[in-house]
Amino acid sequence: MAQSLWYPIWDAGLELDYSMRSLTECRQVASKDLAAAAGLLDIQPLAGDDTLVAQARAAIYQDWRAASRKRLPELLAASRARAERHGEIAYLIEPHLKESRGGLRDYMSLSALSATWLTDRPHGAVDAAGEHLRDVRDALHHVSGRPVNVLGRHVADEVADLMGFGDPDDLLASLADAGRTVAYALDQTERGARGSLERSGIGSVAWKARRMARAPRHVTVSEGLIDVDGEPRARAVGRPAAGPAARPAGSGRGRHHGATLHARPPRGDAGRSRDRGAMARAGQDSLA
């Protein structure tokens, strides 16, 4: 296989990594290495036993979903680290097509987040943006003759010509649009996944709020816009803001649903005396 498949690919100057693992070994590697796990989620059969590949794929997806509470923070931290190290693809003259914010690595993270079953991922425009990033990287490999991911100015003219752009600045503008689309989709998908964990996880902020009968935190951001536990929401027309100053006293359930509540009478000796006095007056009125 190495002589007939791998060596011709390597001789052509293309980058190819390979390994030989059992199903158990695939699951072990995916449980320890985040990058390997994300790659194995996209495993596809090329030749041989399709059933074996399907079994491996199902097992890896099952393990990924079971470890979603651990994997989500790892994915978010990796995304932030890449952005700090390589910048945002929309604002770079020489963007890293794979590692920059809004690049191919972020695009693949969308599928990894969706595979947790915590949230869905957008399609349509974001898929078109991902395909454009792949096409530009393929053109870059063809022009440079090496498996590079940084679109340098010294090759931008040739890559632009190969992609059908008359000016390299037009190519950079198209990459900026694609990067913004991918970055925005990743922000939305990450927010949905975090929200699902908050709503379902024992020990989460929402779980503690339910146990304490506490309503979600609403903070007015601007006219018609409120922050609900870190997520912007449009305020319903005609409904007052639910900020700390506007909330009536009482139980969490009543506050959340906007019911008019009244303070309870004190339950000490003075409260019991007032209760007995009220009952006595009611009895005299009935005898009269």
At residue 112 the predicted structure's pLDDT band, cuts being 50, 70 and 90, is confident
Q: Which CATH architecture has domain 69-212?
A: Up-down Bundle (1.20)
Residue type, position 16, single letter? L
pLDDT at 74: 81
Task: Convert the pLDDT of each residue in 202-235 to its tens digit.
Answer: 445 555 565 555 565 677 877 778 776 566 777 7
Is pLDDT at 246 greater than 90 in this prediction? no
pTM of the shown model: 0.61
Mean pLDDT of 53-69: 84
The torsion angles phi and psi of 125, rounded to 5 degrees, stand at -60, -40
103-112, 113-122, 255-264, range with the lowest pLDDT: 255-264
* Residue predicted with more confidence, 213 or 174: 174
Is the pLDDT at 97 greater than 80, yes or no? yes
Write out pLDDT tens, residues 26-50: 888 888 887 778 787 788 887 778 8
Domain residue spans of the chain: 19-66, 69-212, 215-257
**pLDDT (0 to 100) of residue 252:** 42
